[in-house]
Amino acid sequence: MELNYLLGINYLLVSSLLLLLGGLIFAFLQHKMTAKQNKLIINFLLVTALFLPCCLPDIPNYMEGLNDAQTFDYHSYNQWNVVNINDSSLVACYEKSKNSRDFCQCEIVQKSNLWAYRPNWWREGLIFILPLLAWLIAGAFLFFGLKLFIQWLQILWLIVSKKRQKINFQGFDIWLVYATEGYEAACFNGLGANYLFWSENLAQLPQEEKEQIFVHELAHLKDKDGWFLLLWQLVQLIFWANPAYYYLKRKLAEANEFAADAAVLEQPVYTAKNYARLLLKLKLAQINPKSCLNLFFAKSLLHSRISRMLGADDKPSSTIYPVYAWGLMVLFLFWQVAKPTNAYLQSENIAFYQYDILKTANQKTGLTHICVDCISKK
């Protein structure tokens, strides 16, 4: 088993555990913070789960333990079957021995530093499963990576090929890209500019309603929601099988919309009722359901947005602690969980790596007790 592969599995297990823990923590914290604070905490949970495993200390002699577990040089027995008889670690020298005053020559040398091979059903199962898991991970990485690449190629193609119009709204230069159908709008900041995917139907709306949409989308642009969305799409290559990833990603989408809605209502000229009426109007105007992305989720999200802005849902008036205090508490808890978990996995790595080596040695030589001092690198 390749050493780098074991280290990679170790990283995936620790980071996945931290993200699961992060999902539980956010489920507890989400109603204690505002939408913007929820965005910060969710992204902090993801970044911490990604990078904290890289900062954990190794157990004592971890790399030495792995490096010592090298494969045998099965073709060089003559290089190690002559042993100093005064060696304190020598236990026995036997079988066709030709003893002299200083040396004991024999075909098999037994020392105190031995590895004993004993079949273990758990590690045998891991030896069978891990190569299959490696192909599954590689296939998922290729699938989601290709999917992400195609999505961003489509965005770039729309920016380049579709009709564009440059406007200035509240001091921000925005390119309107007429690339959507119906009454949907989406924003993207990249390539040195701000882009708002627009439609001819939206362009026909009254000026006040268009401005409300501009304020909402401008809030997304100011908070760099598009870049964080890209980060979450990228880490799907790692966390594609982790339910906490999809939970937190959905909660981030909700927080993004709640925060952008709050930015609209911060403008004194707009009221919650008028803005809610606009959202319903845009949704009802989408006659073709196929043109609506994630229709089922969008309906439930629209209900949550309107309930929140009209006060039907409880909104936190203040937090018990500032958001950075929650962040420090999360970091402390993550460290307390990740450190012993990493230590346990590293000790298991050494045991598993040695077991794999011993099994190979047993299959090639038939020996059940292997002299560690006789091991040499290939």
**Cα torsion 353, 355, 358, 360: sign:** negative
pLDDT tens by residue, 132-145: 888 888 899 899 99
pLDDT confidence tier of residue 358, bands split at 50, 70 and 90:
confident
Task: Write down the pLDDT at residue 112.
Answer: 43
Average pLDDT over residues 335-351: 89
Angstrom CA distances, 289 to 213, 284, 294, 296, 303, stand at 21, 10, 10, 10, 17
Residue 349 lies in a domain: no
Average pLDDT on 217-222 reads 92
Determine the structural domain holding residue 299 and report its residue range: 3-62+121-338
% of the chain residues with pLDDT over 70: 75
354 belongs to a structural domain: no
Look at residue 98 and tell me if it is in a domain.
Answer: no
What mean pLDDT do residues 103-113 have?
47
For residue 82, pLDDT over 70 is answered with no
Mean pLDDT calculated for residue range 333-347: 92
Q: Find the angle CA(85)-CA(87)-CA(90) to the nearest 5 degrees.
A: 80
> What mean pLDDT do residues 102-112 have?
47
- What contacts 24+ positions apart, CB below 8 Å, involve 114-119? 114/369, 114/370, 114/371, 114/372, 115/354, 115/358, 115/369, 115/370, 115/372, 116/358, 116/368, 116/369, 116/370, 117/355, 117/358, 117/359, 117/361, 117/362, 117/367, 117/368, 117/369, 117/370, 118/368
Looking at residue 297, what is its pLDDT? Answer: 45
Q: Is residue 67 part of a domain?
A: no
Q: Name the token pair of 283.
A: 């949704």
Assigned domain for 166 exists? yes
| Total structural domains within the chain | 1
Within a domain: 143 = yes
Q: Over 80: is that where the pLDDT of 229 sits?
A: yes
- What does the pLDDT read at residue 95? 41
Per mean pLDDT, which range of 11-15, 23-27, 186-190 is the poorest? 186-190
Q: How many CA atoms lie within 13 A of 272 on its CB side?
A: 10
Q: Which of 63-67, 73-77, 132-136, 264-268 has the lowest mean pLDDT?
A: 73-77
Residue 104 in any domain: the answer is no
- The reply to whether 39 falls in a domain is yes
Band (pLDDT 50/70/90 cuts) for residue 79 is: very low
